[in-house]
Amino acid sequence: MVKPISRISTEIDFEKNGKQVGHLAVPSSTNESAYGIVPIPITVIKNGKGPTMFMTGGVHGDEYEGPVALMKLAAKLTPAKIQGRVIILPAMNLPAVLAGQRCSPIDGLNMNRVFPGERNGSITLQIAHYVSNVLLPLTDYQFDFHSGGKTLEYIPTMIMNVSKDKKREKRTTEALKAFGLPIGLVDVKSDHGGLFEMECEERGILSTNAELGGAGRVDVQTLAWTEIGMMNLLKFFGLMDGKIVTPESQGRPAPRLMEVNDPRSNSFAPDTGLYEHFVDLGANVKAGQTIGQVHFPGNWEKKPWPVKARRAGLMVLKRPPGRVERGDVVAQIAQDWKG
């Protein structure tokens, strides 16, 4: 008998025309369920020949905007509306999504650090392996929807990587602009790092990941921009007819291309305590400017400890929870991309 590529099975036929809603059955043998499965939800919509767009959310379980927008998209799309194939996994790390945690409550792993996964590994590794070895070979364009989760908040941003393939990089930039979020971050990464997007890059697949907001919320405005952006991507890549709804036509600026590649982009809490922001998301700060301070309620004679921006630029990310530990990122400062 030929050993299957993955231990995960599904009744979905990826080559069949029409709309199929089902799950990926991940074997999970636990104290509570000896022969159980974890059913990862999947929707596949296919109409004839054409490119395959693969859209994912819930890689981190406390990032809610992507799963919500993708479930709505999966419900809305019909084969008649598209040309090609759309694969949607709204809650790729389902156990983490159900628990509202960044990492899996089953094996403690951060799914976006373990790509390409392992066939016989723990549950998070098995899911990453299935995605890498079954779904990515079908994929032309991959979009992974993240956000800041419970501990961070972004100005809605789409992130792309500098690629060895300059033609693909140019097309990725165009796709990022078509999606239409306020910020586009261009990352220069030196190694794979177990990241989903780097697995796509190594396989020659155009990919980006969005950071839609965060703070444990599903924001009305961000969700609206995301839903418009998803439709724009389908139109941009020719899977759907219709005109792209640009940010300008909604009365807001085109995406601003920026970068946070300098390690000094991040400001960290210098000690454990309560953090007070002096500036908010979208503020322009100077290098050396005090952007907040840590208070010490258990040792109130101690003066608050100031936190300074280590470079000038735009504050694109902040930590909303007031309680901080030494080493937590409290802010990220971006500069315009000059590449």
Indicate the residue among 158 and 291 with the shorter CB distance to Zn ion. Answer: 158
Ranges within 54-83 binding Zn ion (CB under 5 A): 60, 63
Instruction: Select from 53-61, 234-242, 247-255, 316-324 the region that touches Zn ion (CB under 5 A).
Output: 53-61
Indicate the residue among 63 and 328 with the shorter CB distance to Zn ion. Answer: 63
- For the chain, give the number of residues: 339
Instruction: Select from 67-75, 140-148, 239-247, 311-319 the region that touches Zn ion (CB under 5 A).
Output: 140-148
Spatial separation of the C-alpha atoms in residues 204 and 114, rounded to whole Å: 19
Ranges within 186-225 binding Zn ion (CB under 5 A): none
Minimum CB distance to Zn ion, residue 155 (Å): 16
- Based on the shown chain and the rule CB under 5 A, indicate whether residue 85 belongs to the binding site for Zn ion: no
Indicate the residue among 45 and 183 with the shorter CB distance to Zn ion. Answer: 183
Spatial separation of the C-alpha atoms in residues 208 and 73, rounded to whole Å: 18
- Based on the shown chain and the rule CB under 5 A, indicate whether residue 310 belongs to the binding site for Zn ion: no
Indicate the residue among 64 and 237 with the shorter CB distance to Zn ion. Answer: 64
**Residue showing tokens 């601003």:** 256
Q: Cβ distance 163 to 205 under 8 Å?
A: no
String marking each residue 142-161 x if it binds Zn ion according to CB under 5 A: ----x---------------
- The strand ranges marked E within the chain are 9-10, 18-27, 37-47, 52-57, 84-89, 141-146, 153-154, 157-161, 183-187, 206-211, 256-259, 266-268, 273-277, 284-285, 290-295, 305-308, 313-318, 323-324, 329-336
Minimum CB distance to Zn ion, residue 217 (Å): 14
Which residues are at the interface with Zn ion (CB under 5 A)? 60, 63, 146
